[in-house]
Amino acid sequence: MDPVSEDRPTDHADAPDSDAGTPDADATAHEPTEAQGGRRRLTTLLAVAAVLFGLDLLTKCLAVAYLTPSEPVYFLSDFGRLTLIRNPGAAFSMATGMTWLLTLIAAAVVIGVIRIGSTLRSLWWALGLGLVLGGALGNLVDRLFRAPGPLQGHVVDFVAIGWWPVFNVADSAIVCGAILLVTLTVFGFEPDGTRTGRKHHHTTTTSTTGEETA
């Protein structure tokens, strides 16, 4: 009987590959990256909102300090003017008799945007929501702390361009943010960073090739 050689190489053909990726391992590997991306987008959203809120507050303070009602300051010839008014309504002086309701709506918008922001993966959505949040905060502060009292405060407006109603930085931020969000929605860009048409095409292609879809 031949002795068993201790130098015989071990057969590793059937041994499991410890480095092979598994679905659970891959999912775990992606989780930190996705979480970091979400935090970055939320940070972007809050940074944009903070800049717009600060700019709105600063320009309103300057307008109240240096402008006199009924005494407009013209620039760009007669096309543009700075004129101080106190607006009890919504943006561009709409819904002037519903100040308390507009205050509650602005507060709801602020809460909703912050909650949505924690799930964002899209930079453009973060920018759009940041604009809306900054503008909503700017006008909400006026409604809470300016005369004639809480929930009834009048918003400071001071910029007039052509025939357009008098507005402020917050109004502009809300309108620009809303336009951006509508554009993203129309073209299929989702808050999670995907695009509706491309995601559908990827799923269809993967199913046709017989590979497992996500």
**CA 167/CA 143 separation, integer angstroms:** 15
The residue annotated as part of the active site, out of 17, 142, 157, 192, is 157
**CA 140/CA 161 separation, integer angstroms:** 24
Handedness of CA 164, 170, 176, 182 (dihedral sign): negative
The residue annotated as part of the active site, out of 78, 142, 171, 192, is 171
Between the alpha carbon of residue 11 and those of residues 8, 15, 16, 21, 174, the distances in Å are: 9, 8, 12, 22, 68
Residues 6 or more apart in contact with residue 137 via CB below 8 angstroms? 49, 53, 110, 170
Q: Phi/psi at 145 (nearest 5 deg)?
A: -120, -10
Q: Among this protein's residues, is 7 annotated catalytic?
A: no
State the catalytic residues. Answer: 157, 171
